[in-house]
Amino acid sequence: MAKKKLVVLTGAGVSAESGISTFRDSNGLWENYDPQEVASIEGWYRNRALLLDFYNMMRANLRDVRPNDAHRAIAALEADYDVRVITQNVDNLHERAGSTRILHLHGELTKVRPENGVYDQTYSEKEVFDIGYEAIHLGDKAPNGSQLRPHIVWFGEAVPKIEPAIDWVSQADILLIVGSSLSVYPAAGLYRYAPAAAPIYLIDPQEVAVHDARIIPIREKATVGMKKFIEMIGK
């Protein structure tokens, strides 16, 4: 029998217990940094060096953190489900926990690409490459001669992976959302594409302002919430 399709949409909360700050909680990243400065395309054109430093710091921190039990539980579910992970996170903790089908909606910290000109945000997947946890600096050039930039979706930029994400969600038998305030579109609207019959579980210690009769809230941190979710789906 074909395995049921379990689509997991994750946000910063799934990595919080690994020691990565969320964005909008108290003491979250956006309390200490202005997203318009360090995470927008206008910010990049204003001050490339500042953005390079910010993402160099985030990339270096990533080397020192580890996946937690929530990442591992999501990966282990592949034994019984056809699991697809759509993450808003730019960390690589789902990969390091062993998940095999992951779509990074907002890019990946360990990858870079050429900036390809001020008005040209388009790029080919062939131009994206892995730098691990290394830093990049002003003057570091891609093979095509343009400045390297982080492979991150900034505010003001398109979200190229939204189409395949919609495709996955619209085929889900079960949708699980873990640790996202669901405040950044288009990711925040993805759950609406779940088929009418698909239950939507939502793990978050705080109340998330979404209104859909299908949502089954699990008000826990990700590690504990994943245990409860697995009990609830009867694995």
Cα separation, 26 vs 172, in Å, equals 33
Cα separation, 205 vs 16, in Å, equals 11
Q: Restricting to residues 43-82, name those near ligand OAD by CB under 6 A.
A: none
Tell me if residue 151 is catalytic.
no
Binding mask 195-224 for ligand OAD (x = CB under 6 A): --------xxxx-x------------xx--
Closest CA to 105 of 36, 44, 177, 211: 177
112 sits near ligand OAD (criterion: CB under 6 A):
no
Q: What is the DSSP string of 140-205?
A: -B-TTSSBEEEEE--BTS--TTHHHHHHHHHT-SEEEEES----STTGGGGGGGS-TT--EEEE-S
Selected from 5, 7, 18, 22, the binder of ligand OAD by CB under 6 A is 22
20 contacts 27 by C-beta, under 8 angstroms: no
Q: For ligand OAD, which is the closer residue by CB, 142 or 222? A: 222
- Please report how close the Cβ of residue 206 comes to ligand OAD at its closest, in angstroms: 4
Selected from 17, 78, 82, 173, the binder of ligand OAD by CB under 6 A is 17
Q: In what order do the strands lie in the sheet with 148-152?
A: 129-130, 107-114, 148-152
Q: For ligand OAD, which is the closer residue by CB, 166 or 224? A: 224
Selected from 6, 7, 8, 12, the binder of ligand OAD by CB under 6 A is 12
Residue type, 140: D
74 contacts 83 by C-beta, under 8 angstroms: yes
Stretch that binds ligand OAD, among 48-56, 115-123, 161-169, 174-182 (CB under 6 A): 174-182
Stretch that binds ligand OAD, among 12-20, 42-50, 131-139, 190-198 (CB under 6 A): 12-20
Selected from 184, 190, 194, 202, the binder of ligand OAD by CB under 6 A is 184
Closest CA to 204 of 191, 189, 215, 193: 215
Closest CA to 130 of 147, 154, 105, 113: 113
Residue count at the site for ligand OAD (CB under 6 A)? 27
Selected from 153, 165, 172, 190, the binder of ligand OAD by CB under 6 A is 153
Which structure tokens are listed for 206? Answer: 């705080």
Cα separation, 204 vs 194, in Å, equals 19
- Please report how close the Cβ of residue 34 comes to ligand OAD at its closest, in angstroms: 11
156 sits near ligand OAD (criterion: CB under 6 A):
no
| Residue nearest ligand OAD, Cβ-based | 13
99 contacts 71 by C-beta, under 8 angstroms: yes
Q: Which residues are catalytic?
A: 106
Provide the binding-site residues for ligand OAD, judged by CB under 6 A: 11-13, 16-17, 22-25, 28, 35, 39, 88, 106, 153, 179-181, 183-184, 203-206, 208, 221-222
